[in-house]
Structure 1
């Protein structure tokens, strides 16, 4: 019988082939393979980013000051009933064009015709009395020479004549007044323009106690636009104008300078006019100077109506050979506005710039770049100062055309000195 203590003895160790040896060799082989692969991989830097560059478009530009204004009718007059009476007829179509002197309303004239007749009769009677007084005075002068009447009788005859003569003048004035009142029963247009609606219907009593407004007439052509010029822009404009006129210029030479006007729904500034009035001093409460312009506004359906908001710009200087770039190329950081430029070695450089106004969708660069610089216009997010890039060149004028939807042939026909037609801001406003 085996001894039970033998169960506690250690088991014999077998020195045969381990079971996991194959797995260990396989893993070791994989490590050797991976190590061999890593030795063959060499780091290759990514290719330089591709950006689009263009040289600035060089052209003459006009410097503008821009304002907000309001259109106001050239003239507006209310047509009252100047005599009391019953409105008898309306002789116009609402909203139609009328000429000066056209008949608009008729007030019942019967009462005034009777007044004219009565005044005429009173005048005839006064003239008859005057004729009799004249004859009496003539006889008295003859008799006084013969000594048949006294001086008192002659004086009385002269007084009667003068009184009769004065009475004739009074009756003539009464007749004139009656005829004027009769004329007021025919209400006519005091000026040419567009008539409004009739504010009183036929059959109503008008002009009783106070003048009753019957309608109004508004003159649309020409039309005024009022705008406020702040002190800074005013001084800048005066400085530019004086520099162009020289020392011999006067303030009179600054009157009637051109303005361009556009409505909120219009592109650019299609309406051209001139200033015709400027306040004599700057308002100390607002720091602005009110200016009025006048513009032609023809047609039965004029483009400009009174009371509309208007964009106004005033040319103050002509600047030659200014660089223009796409506004998408302009960046901004804590140092201000800048452009990214690719140099001859393909390295990106950062240029701080001063911006001017918009011209046909391109931004005028006051200073900071040269005409030959290659400005990054697309891919600005991929370009950073100091890195190398692959530059693809385009023509800056193509960006100008794309802003207006024009063709390349149209771009080729654009000449220097073309005025800004976009909704640009004043140079200082762009730099804020």
Structure 2
């Protein structure tokens, strides 16, 4: 009896275990997730401007080293380091007293020579009159003619000495040659400058409005830009240029081509060019690395949002939704960026449905749930 009870209990336990396992199998059965939802849009055909892009460096349009052209002690410094200065503004004063004394001496020499000339002319007139009346010898006439001519020459030399003294006296006052911004002073107050026959650099002044940007073009790019140069001139007859910097995605500063070199350097195969750009606030400083571009031509092109273009080891690609919403990876040739869009030069016809958002969810060969972009 006990043996039969045990067999029944074991049979019941086996049936319960089988039922439990069956329930677990139903509960853990794999259910595939729905296809991921992605945003799609058609490529947009629109006119775009092709640009030739290159790099360069900014440079001030004028740079002058202010130097001491006379010897003396630095008596005054009349500016603050780095300030804006105006043309003619006095900046340094080199002790003027010795040079003013030389000016006064030169003036006195001029007056003395004038007096000597006056006396010689009076005596020459008197000797000529006496000779004409046979009351004096001709030697007196010759003597005073020589004296008069000598006085004239000495007067001219005295005037030249006065002019030199005036110039040197003017050099005691070092003024700004143009409106600009001055560097820090290179010499402190009280130092002897201009000694030993060498000019002492006192400071540097630059003019940075407008500002230059120098760059080089290869021979190939030069021919490309030359082809479209005449069609893209501004009213002043100069080709347009745009400029940006390393912290900017766009090219916000507009300028013009200002200068190009005499020819292509045969050793490098490049030509030096220069653009000029407005800089009224002085925010563009000399020596900056600059991005530049020149417009070439306007054409119709297919564009897709910038985020729709991916990159792998082969190159650029876009994901296209095909039949039955299956994703296809399409290699493309991507062009320039235009206002958040990317030009597609090759790889699309224009009637494709391109995934523009959710690329990370889509996989080539798998289905997706496309949703039209609201933009």
Shorter-chain TM-score tier: 0.7 to 0.9
Give the 3 Å change call, closer, same or farther, for CA 137–93 of structure 1 in structure 2: same
- Cα offset for 1:184? 1.5
| 1:91 Cα offset (Å) | 1.4
Query: 2:195 matched to 1:208?
Result: yes
- 1:298 pairs with 280, 283, 286, which one? 280
Are 2:200 and 1:218 equivalent residues in the alignment? no
Whole-angstrom CA distance in 1 between matches of 2:185 and 2:368: 73
The answer on whether the counterparts of 2:225 and 2:294 sit within 8 Å (CA) in structure 1 is no
1:92 correspondence with 2:72: no
User: 1:193, 1:240 → 2: CA distance?
Assistant: 36
Is residue 256 of structure 2 the alignment partner of residue 268 of structure 1?
Answer: no
RMSD over aligned CA atoms reads 3.5
Unaligned runs of 5+ in 1: 1-16, 398-432
CA contact (8 A) 1:241 1:254 kept: no
Choose 179-188 or 51-60, whichever is displaced more.
51-60
2:103 equivalent in structure 1: 116
Query: CA separation in 1, counterparts of 2:360 and 2:181?
Result: 57
Q: Which residue of 2 aligns with 1:56?
A: 43
Residue 195 of structure 2: SS of its match in structure 1? coil
1:14-49: CA deviation from partner (whole Å, max 9, x where unpaired): xxx9x9999899989x99xx99xx9xxxx9987555
Change (3 A) 1:142 1:372: same
Whole-angstrom distance in 1 between the partners of 2:180 and 2:315: 53
5+ residue gaps, structure 2, are: none
Matches within 5 A, 1:67-78: 67-78=54-65
1:340 aligns with 2:319: yes
2:166 aligned partner: 179
Q: Report how far residue 327 of structure 1 moved.
A: 3.7
CA deviations on 1:189-243 (whole Å, 9 max, x unpaired) are 112111222222222221112221122211121111112222332222223446x
Deviates more, 1:127-136 or 1:150-159: 150-159
Question: How many pairs align?
Answer: 365
Call closer, same or farther: CA 1:386–1:240 in 2, change over 3 Å.
farther
- Cα offset for 1:305? 1.0
Counterpart contact for 2:64–2:204, Cα < 8 Å: yes
Q: Which has the larger displacement, 97-106 or 50-59?
A: 50-59
Residues 59 and 105 from structure 1, CA distance in 2 versus in 1: closer, same or farther, beyond 3 angstroms? Answer: same
Of 285, 289, 310, the residue aligned with 1:309 is 289
Among residues 220, 240, 246, which one is paired with 1:258 in the alignment?
240
Indicate the larger mover: 378-387 or 92-101.
378-387
Name the structure 2 match of 1:288.
270
Compare the two structures and name the one with the higher strand fraction.
2
1:164 and 1:138 map into 2 onto residues whose CA distance is: 15
Distance change >3 Å, CA 264–CA 150, structure 1 → 2: same
Q: In 2, are the aligned partners of 1:77 and 1:217 still within 8 Å (CA)? A: yes
Aligned partners of 1:330 and 1:337 also within 8 Å: yes
Distance of aligned partners of 1:26 and 1:173 in 2 relative to their CA distance in 1, 3 Å threshold:
closer
Whether contact under 8 Å (2:50, 2:295) holds in the other structure is yes
**Structure 2 residue 113 is the aligned partner of structure 1 residue 126:** yes
Give 1:55 shift.
Answer: 1.2
Q: Distance in 2 between matches of 1:58 and 1:188?
A: 60
SS in 2 for 1:356: strand
What is the deviation of 1:170? 0.7
TM-score by length of 2: 0.83
